[in-house]
Amino acid sequence: MSANKESWGSRVGLILAMAGNAVGLGNFLRFPVQAVQNGGGAFIIPYLVCFFVMGIPLLFIEWSMGRFGGKYGYHSTPFIVDTMGKSRFWKYIGVFGIWTNIAVAAYYCYIESWTLSYVFHSIIGTFSGLDQDGVSNFFGEYVSLGVSTLGVPYEPIVFYILCLLLNTWILSQGLASGVERVAKIGMPMLILFGAFLAFKGFTITAGENGAINDSSVGLNFLWTPNFDQLWSPTVWLAAAGQIFFTLSVGMGTVQCYASYVRAKDDVALNAMSAGWMNEFVEVVLGSSILIPISIGYLGIDRVTELVQSGGLGLGFRALPYLFYQWGDFLGAFSGVMWFGLLFFAGITSSLAMGTPWIGFLMDEFNWRRKPAAWSFGVVVFVLGMPTVLFFKYGVFDEYDHWAGTVSLVVFALLETILFSWVFGIRKGWQEIISGADIQVPNIYKFIIKFITPILLLWVFLGSLFTPKGNDWSAALSGNWILDNSSIINRLANTSLKKQLAAATDPSQIEFLQDQIFFVNAARILLLSVWIILALLVYVAYKKRLREGRI
Amino acid sequence: MNTSALVVMLTTMLLVTALMIYFFVKVITIPPKPEPDSYLDNDDEVDRQVPKPQ
């Protein structure tokens, strides 16, 4: 018998935990940058369309798959998907639902530890008196394990370990007493902190406290619709991609949380409530902080330049400096609010990443929760250290690309095919509406069977064969040259090899050679972890056969 | 703000906020199903227990 007899404490707790799983750093750092890069206000149209035809269906699919697997005592995706398809290979597809979480947690907990560290540095006033370059250099030195302002050697590693210990301890307390309790505290705090910063974002006045623009300049920049961009496949792909990352679908965490819901209880309303809560945090709060404040103090040109390297640069290199334009006290206070909300967003997601592994060990090998939780901490630490130590060689980005991007699309595509075509939409639909507290529109039966898998396939193929410069019109007219960001060129290290061929400085050549080595080593490491997990699933399957449980 | 940006922003924010509140209010106002349900906190509430067959 499985040692896994856990339950959620309350329905609201489950929804907050599930919303916390979805709400992550990307809600505040990725969404506004994606919107700016893809047509401003017009991005919201493809974004919401993708939410309705891909996000909501995937939430329905994953919630109902989880509850279905839970009926048989399964709490992780390998055996949840195994109950839905007759072929034995499905359980190995389900390995993605554990692997992704372990690999993503390895680097995600590192970013989470930055936020924890920055809360601390905001409190002790590290950023007070620093100019913009000083704050930016602090971040550069921090991630390269440079000089520590606290006098603690390898400060980022210390914070990383602290963060992992905190995650592991919370996970060891169980679902209701650990994960759910943190969500019940973290989500309201996050919304409160976000509301305060959004208010500041909406009330910037040019000429006051060093601001060069009113809030309206940043908000115009973000929300003015550029309808010409609506016809660009790139914008639609970006919108679909954002929906993936923001909802944490294709990871296996939703199934894991939902597997603790009993068969007669609702999943449809729960899915909608958690999903829309995530959208509120992303669209309402996420769009009102980073861009309006940055543009208010730095101007459009500087922000346009900074967003090219993503939201992390703005969030960690610029905002701590900008907050201090409001004075020392408000600067420190806003720093605590900003990094505090990022920390709560991060930890509610990283806790979710631990639950599939713990569920798997408890279900299949009768581990108790505490040792299972600590084993998660150890595995994540071992797998995460290369991202910390070799950050400058791009190991962190490799993990993010393969585990945090490609794997989500692959798993979501395969689980959708399994749910609507192998398990069958008739049975699948019954699973969605069984015990439902809302009337699910029948149109979703059609969307789940046809639209969602086609969209997912398009997203996957679009990433596999991304045309050069995202120029789809040139590609579709016959001149299809692969972009270096396409999965195929990325796998072949095309960009790095080109840089190496063009390099003349011996130190740069050496650095690029090292980078290629570390990038390939990171891939081999990730692949090895996947294979080990697949072997564990095989051993668990054989154990089930021996015990007559299949 | 310019009119088109204001319209897009307000429409989106109001729509998303309204739907978030609507579904969350529905969750907290719909009566829970009789025991045994998925949640521990209400296990001891007397009026939610399924009567035992006579």
Task: Give the pLDDT of residue A2.
Answer: 60
Length of chain A: 550
pLDDT at residue number A71? 94
Cβ(A348)–Cβ(A183) under 8 Å? yes
Q: Is A477 exposed, middle or buried (0-12, 13-18, 19+ CB in 10 A)?
A: exposed
φ, ψ at A124 (rounded to 5°): -85, 0
- Residue A354 in contact with residue A171, Cβ under 8 Å? yes
pLDDT of A255 reads 97
pLDDT at site B53: 61
CA A472 to mean position of chain CA atoms? 27
Gap between the Cα atoms of A415 and A515, Å rounded: 34
The reply to whether residue B38 touches residue A273, judged by beta carbons under 8 angstroms, is no
Structural tokens at position A4: 């896994």
Exposure class string for A203-217: b at 16+ Cβ within 10 A, else e: ebeeeeeebebbbbb
Q: What is the pLDDT at residue A4?
A: 67
Structure tokens given for A297: 């103090």
Is the CB of residue A44 less than 8 Å away from at least one CB of chain B?
yes
Contact call for B38 and A176, based on CB within 8 A: no
ipTM confidence? 0.91
Q: How far is CA A146 from the centre of its chain?
A: 27
pLDDT at A66: 97
Q: DSSP letter string over A313-366?
A: IIIIIIHHHHHGGG-HHHHHHHHHHHHHHHHHHHHHHHHHHHHHHHHHHHHHH-
User: How many other CB atoms are found less than 10 A from the CB of residue A193?
Assistant: 23
Positions of chain A with pLDDT under 70: 1-4, 147
User: Does B12 contact A216 at a Cβ distance shorter than 8 Å?
Assistant: no
Contact criterion met (CB < 8 Å) for B40 and A435: no
Dist CA A336 CA A331 (whole Å): 9
Compute the nearest-CA separation of B30 from chain A (Å).
Answer: 8
pLDDT given for residue B51 in this prediction: 63
Average pLDDT over residues B5-15: 95
Contact A105, A117 (CB under 8 A): no
Domains belonging to chain A, first-starting first, are: 11-547 (1.20.1740)
Per the CB < 8 A criterion, the answer to whether B30 and B22 are in contact is no
- Rounded CA separation A230/B8 (Å): 14
Angle at alpha carbon of residue A143, lines to A140 and A148, rounded to 5°: 85
Q: Which residues of B touch A224 (CB under 8 A)?
A: 2, 4-5, 8
Neighbours of B21 (CB within 10 A): 13
Give the residue from A64, A74, A63 showing the smallest Cα distance to A550. A74
A to B CB pairs, distance under 8 Å: 102
**CA–centroid distance for A132 within its chain:** 28
DSSP for A26-59, please give it.
Answer: HHHHTHHHHHHHTTBGGGHHHHHHHIIIIIHHHH
What letters, b where the CB count within 10 A reaches 16 and e where it falls short, cover A317-336?
Answer: bbbbbbbbbbeeeebbbbbb
CB atoms within 10 A of CB A426: 10
How far is residue A199 from each of residues A209, A279, A288, A493, measured CA to CA in Å?
Answer: 16, 18, 8, 44
CA neighbours closer than 13 Å in the CB half-sphere of residue A86 = 3
And the tokens for A457?
A: 């396939």
Written as one letter, the residue type at A317 is R
CA distance A225 to chain B (A): 6
Residue A167 near residue A179 (C-beta atoms within 8 A): no
Contact A219/B5, CB-based, under 8 Å?
A: yes
- What ranges make up the beta strands (E) of A474-547? none
